[in-house]
């Protein structure tokens, strides 16, 4: 069964109402121009389908495992490098960045189980998601989760050129479960993971990953 994310409820209802209105209006005002009428109606339906696919929320339940880090989002691995993380750790970390295209699922999921030690929203710019400064200058949220297997892991939701709203459900001090719904990036575009140096990865540049399915670190047992 197809599921949709709750953040898309208003958009889906509005899009459905507009689509119905356009179809009936075209039938009333353009009935003497059959192919124009059909073209307008088909275009309205296509726009509705785009909205529906954007807010889809596939059911991807896996057994939460403390010794694995799963991909928090769908997308493509575009960065793997050692960087200076200046907001929380203030030292070098291994950054893994996943870029989401408009056709990817935009649900964010917790990459590990553990305690949320930090959760902060930052307003900012809307540079393209692959811009080197996007991680520090764009609208973003920073979340740090800690467990026994990995210590503290930071992930950052980053808005891109089209994204205008990031939704983050993580609250400082709460316990979260790997794979649970952690938020949504509306028309947005990138999530960065910051891992301890020397972490052995199961992914490489340009790999395509799926949220809550692809194992970034560790192995299923």
Active site residues: 189
43-to-56, 107, 154 alpha-carbon distances in Å:
20, 26, 42
Tokens 């993380």 belong to which residue? Answer: 85
CB 44 within 8 A of CB 22: yes
31's CB contacts (< 8 A; 6+ apart) are 37
CB 145 within 8 A of CB 114: yes
31-to-17, 19, 38, 48, 164 alpha-carbon distances in Å:
21, 17, 9, 22, 38
3-state secondary structure 109-127: ECCCCEEEEEEEEECCECC
CB 176 within 8 A of CB 141: no
Q: How far, in Å, CA of 101 to CA of 198, rounded?
A: 29
3-state secondary structure 133-161: CHHHHECEEEEEEEECCCEEEEEEEECCC
3-state secondary structure of 78: strand
């Amino acid at each position: 069964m197809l599921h949709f994310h709750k953040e898309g409820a208003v958009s889906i209802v509005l899009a459905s109402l507009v689509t119905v209105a356009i179809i009936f209006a075209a039938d009333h005002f353009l009935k003497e121009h059959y192919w124009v009428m059909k073209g307008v109606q088909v275009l309205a339906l296509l726009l509705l389908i785009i909205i529906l696919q954007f807010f889809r929320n596939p059911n991807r339940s896996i057994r939460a495992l403390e010794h694995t880090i799963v991909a928090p989002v769908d997308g493509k691995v575009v960065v793997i490098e050692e960087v200076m993380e200046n907001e929380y750790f203030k030292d070098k970390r291994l950054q893994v960045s996943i870029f989401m295209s408009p056709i990817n699922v935009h649900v964010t999921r917790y990459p590990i189980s553990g305690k949320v030690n930090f959760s902060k929203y930052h307003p900012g710019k809307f540079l393209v998601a692959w811009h080197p400064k996007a991680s520090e200058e764009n609208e973003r949220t920073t979340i740090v989760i800690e467990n026994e297997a990995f210590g503290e892991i930071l992930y950052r939701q980053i808005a891109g050129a089209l994204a205008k709203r990031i939704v983050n459900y993580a609250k400082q001090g709460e316990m979260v479960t790997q794979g649970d719904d952690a938020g949504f990036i509306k028309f947005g575009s990138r999530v960065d993971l910051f891992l301890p140096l020397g972490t052995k990865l199961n992914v490489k540049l340009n790999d395509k990953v799926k949220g809550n399915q692809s194992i970034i670190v560790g192995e299923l047992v």
